[in-house]
Structure 1
Amino acid sequence: MGKHNEFGKLGEQIAVDFLQKKGYEICFRNYRYLKAEVDVIAKIGETLVVVEVKTRTSDFLEDMQSVISPKKIKLLTLAADQYVQEHDLDIEVRFDVIIVIKKIEGFEVEHLENAFYHF
């Protein structure tokens, strides 16, 4: 596995740990549907949360379009719909982005709830 993949997987684990500490139940990691991959599917209360994790090596500002493209949003939406159908769920779905930033002193986690809407 390349260093880039290892770094991304580390970021995903940090995001999962972060969510669990906030009371989220992790339902699935790396869910795949067609060309889509959802990093984390979690549940909090009566809401299913589809999470895209971005891991960065420095603290720099990005607008949302550079963090997650319209194409990626479409793929995440399709995958979330498939997951809900597969599991016969009748539940509210929310899309979040977690950005994990590596800093000298460790990692910083930024959680963007309702990062985008699926319609």
Structure 2
Amino acid sequence: MAKHLQLGRDGEVLAKAHLEKNGYEILDENWTFGKAEIDIIAYKHKVIIFTEVKTRTGNSFGEPEDFVDNRKQRLLADAADEYIYLMNHQGEVRFDIIAILFDKTGNYILNHIEDAFWPSAT
């Protein structure tokens, strides 16, 4: 497996463990719709949380969360709309980012940004 793909998978495992440790129920992982993939879909306090996980080994080009641009947000929103429709969810939703930054020794910092964005209409 390519190194960057393994890094992403490692980040998703850490993000899932973080969410579960904090009382979130994991509904789905790597859920796709069209060109969009939602890394983790969680549920807590009657809210569905669509979570984008960004994992990097350095921040010289920006923090991991900086890579969730407007285009990515629109794709996530489209996929979230479909998921909400399929699940007939009538409650609140939220978009979170979990940013994970590894250093050269394998240590990491995990930053869970709740309500990180609200996708604008296209």
CA offset digits 1:52-93 (Å, max 9, x no partner) = 000011255837883211110000000001001111111201
SS at match of 2:19: helix
**What is the RMSD of the two structures over their aligned residues, measured on CA atoms?**
1.9
Q: Report % sequence identity.
A: 36
CA offset digits 1:37-63 (Å, max 9, x no partner) = 000000111110000000011255837
Partner of 2:13 in structure 1? 13
Partner of 1:110 in structure 2? 111
* Equivalent AA in structure 2 for residue 45 of structure 1: H
* CA–CA separation in structure 2 for the residues paired with 1:8 and 1:65: 13
The structure carrying a bigger strand percent of its residues is 1
Query: After TM superposition, which residue ranges in structure 1, 4 or more long, deviate above 6 angstroms?
Result: none
Answer whether contact 2:54 2:64 (CA < 8 A) is retained: no
Question: Which segments of 5 or more consecutive residues in structure 2 lack a partner in the other structure?
Answer: none
| TM-score, reference length from structure 2 | 0.89
* Equivalent AA in structure 2 for residue 53 of structure 1: V
- Within 5 Å, give how 1:84-103 maps onto structure 2: 84-103=84-103
Alpha-carbon distance, 1:118 to partner: 2.6
* CA–CA separation in structure 2 for the residues paired with 1:69 and 1:118: 10
| Alignment coverage as a number of residue pairs | 119
